């Protein structure tokens, strides 16, 4: 299966959310320090950032610049040392672990570099997982979870392998399942940490095409951490970090990313 085929699939297309609403992500004065045995390591030294709904943002920077930490904080996977994060209008600073998990379930999709599928579940069950975790029909607004899971698997070209376990899939296939999972409950925000980092060029390209096309169709705000220049060139906005600070923030082709393709 190739990404080009996906365009023909019948997938519900959602228009981007109105710009009149609050920004998707608002970050102010964000710092993160970790005490080590000998001294304190400041990973983030004051980040201020606003990402609009529907934007496709690439976060770049050398190793140790704090990009993955920033992404983790945005997802509420860790608590900041200071500063504030507002996701889709909700302040997540100071939320306890469980409330954070619930909010994440509704608002944030995540794609990891090393896929992180549950080995005990089949491809389809993995995709269905966020839907089940958010309590099925109720909050996610999806009427038929299993149907959507199959549609998503079909759009990443893995419908025929839906009963396979992760170990029976190649790296590229696992990442495609992870993509389908990330979009399962239509989260307004999708965070991706080097999603192609563990894949070879061809598979990486395939996954990237899928990610971008799904993102366009679903109208999601996409924040992606990457080393890959080619990948970042597809983004509507490029933020570069160095030593825990934003050193550049460029917007280009803003229209391209927010406008759905026919």
Partner 1 sequence: MPNALPSRDREGVGILNFSWATACKIAWRESRSSSFKFLFVILAVAVGVGSLTGVRGFSRAFHEMLLSQARTLMAADLSLRVFELPTPQQDSALAALSRLGVDRTWITETVTMASASVEKPPMLVSVKAVDPKKYPFYGEIRLSPPAPLSRALTADTVAVSDDVLLRLNLKVGDSIRLGGQPFRIVGEVTYEPDRMLGTLNVGPRVMMTRDGLDRAGLILPGSRAAERFLFRLSPNSPGIEPVRERLKATFPDALIADFRESHPLVTQALNRATTFLSLVSLITLIIGAIGVGTAMRAHIQQRMDSIAIMKCIGARSSHVMRIYLLQTIALGLAGGLVGVAFGLVVQRVFPSFLARYFELEPTAHWDFVTAAQGIGIAVLASLLFTLPPLIGIRRIRPSLILRREMEETKPDWPTRFAEARASLLAGATILIGFAGIAMSFATGTPRDIWRTGEYFAGALVISFTALSAVAWLMLRVLKIASRGKLPASVRHGISNLYRPGAHAQSVLVALGVGVMFTLTIYLVQHGMIAEMNRSSPPGMPNVFLIDIAPKDRDAVLDLVKQQRGVEGAPEVIGTVAAKISSVDGQPVDQMNLKGFARRYRSPRSVTSAAAMPDYVDLVRGRWWDSASGAPQVCVDEDAAKILHIQPGSEMRWAISGREVQTRVACVQSIDSVHLSSRVEFIFNTSALAGFPVIYYSSLRAQPSTVPALQEALYKRFPTVTVVNIADVLQIIQGVVDRISQVVRFISMFAILAGAVILSSSVAGTRFRRMREVVILKTLGATRWRVSRIFSVEFLVLGAVAGLMGSLLAGGFANLLLKRMLDAQTSIPVVPIAVSVVATAFIANAAGWMASFPILGQKPLEILREE
Q: Does 113 bind partner 1 (CB under 8 A)?
A: yes
Number of neighbours of residue 117 by Cβ within 10 angstroms = 24
Q: What is the DSSP letter of 16?
A: P
The single residue among 167, 202, 255, 262 that binds partner 1, judged by CB under 8 A, is 167
Q: CA-CA distances (angstroms) from residue 238 to 3, 59, 138, 182, 216?
A: 24, 6, 36, 22, 18
Q: Which residues of 216-226 are buried (b: 16+ CB within 10 A; e: fewer)?
A: bbbbbbbbbbb
Give the shortest CB-137-to-partner 1 separation in angstroms: 13
Q: Does 110 bind partner 1 (CB under 8 A)?
A: yes
β-strands 25-35, 82-87 pairing: antiparallel
Piece of the chain touching partner 1 by CB under 8 A; list 20-28, 53-61, 86-94, 121-129: 121-129
Reading the block at residue 191, the tokens are: 């965070």
Q: Does 232 bind partner 1 (CB under 8 A)?
A: no
Number of residues that bind partner 1 (CB under 8 A): 34
Q: Does 33 bind partner 1 (CB under 8 A)?
A: no
By CB under 8 A, the residues from 50 to 109 that bind partner 1 are 68-69, 72, 75, 77-78, 97-98, 101-106
User: Which phi and psi angles does 129 have, rounded to 5°?
Assistant: -50, -50
Give the shortest CB-146-to-partner 1 separation in angstroms: 11
Q: Does 31 bind partner 1 (CB under 8 A)?
A: no
Strand partners, 192: 111, 224
Q: Are 165 and 119 in contact (CB under 8 A)?
A: yes
Q: Which is nearer to partner 1, 52 or 174 (CB)?
A: 174
How far, in Å, CA of 149 to CA of 97, rounded? Answer: 27
Binding residues for partner 1, per CB under 8 A?
Answer: 68-69, 72, 75, 77-78, 97-98, 101-106, 110, 112-114, 116-121, 125, 129-130, 132-134, 167-168, 170, 181
């Amino acid at each position: 299966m190739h990404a080009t085929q996906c365009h023909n699939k019948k997938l519900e297309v959602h228009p981007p959310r109105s710009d009149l609403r609050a920004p998707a992500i608002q970050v102010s004065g964000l710092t993160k320090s970790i005490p080590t045995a000998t001294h304190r390591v400041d990973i983030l030294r004051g980040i201020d950032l606003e990402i609009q709904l529907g934007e496709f943002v690439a976060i770049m920077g050398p190793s140790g610049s704090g990009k993955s930490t920033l992404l983790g904080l945005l997802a509420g996977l860790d608590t900041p040392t200071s500063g504030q994060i507002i996701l889709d209008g909700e302040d997540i600073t100071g939320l306890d672990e469980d409330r954070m998990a619930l909010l994440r379930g509704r608002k944030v999709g995540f794609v990891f570099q090393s896929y992180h599928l549950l080995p005990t579940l089949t491809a389809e069950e993995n995709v269905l997982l966020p839907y089940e975790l958010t309590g099925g029909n109720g909050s996610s607004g999806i009427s038929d979870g299993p149907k959507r899971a199959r549609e998503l698997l079909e759009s990443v070209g893995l419908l025929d392998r839906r009963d396979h376990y992760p170990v029976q899939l190649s790296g590229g296939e696992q990442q495609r399942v992870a993509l389908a999972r990330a979009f399962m409950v239509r989260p307004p925000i999708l965070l991706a940490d080097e999603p192609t980092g563990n894949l070879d060029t061809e598979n990486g390209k395939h996954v990237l095409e899928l990610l971008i096309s799904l993102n366009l169709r679903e109208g999601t705000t996409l924040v992606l951490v990457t080393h890959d220049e080619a990948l970042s060139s597809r983004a509507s906005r490029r933020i570069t970090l160095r030593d825990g600070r934003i050193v550049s923030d460029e917007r280009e082709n803003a229209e391209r990313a927010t406008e759905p393709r026919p």
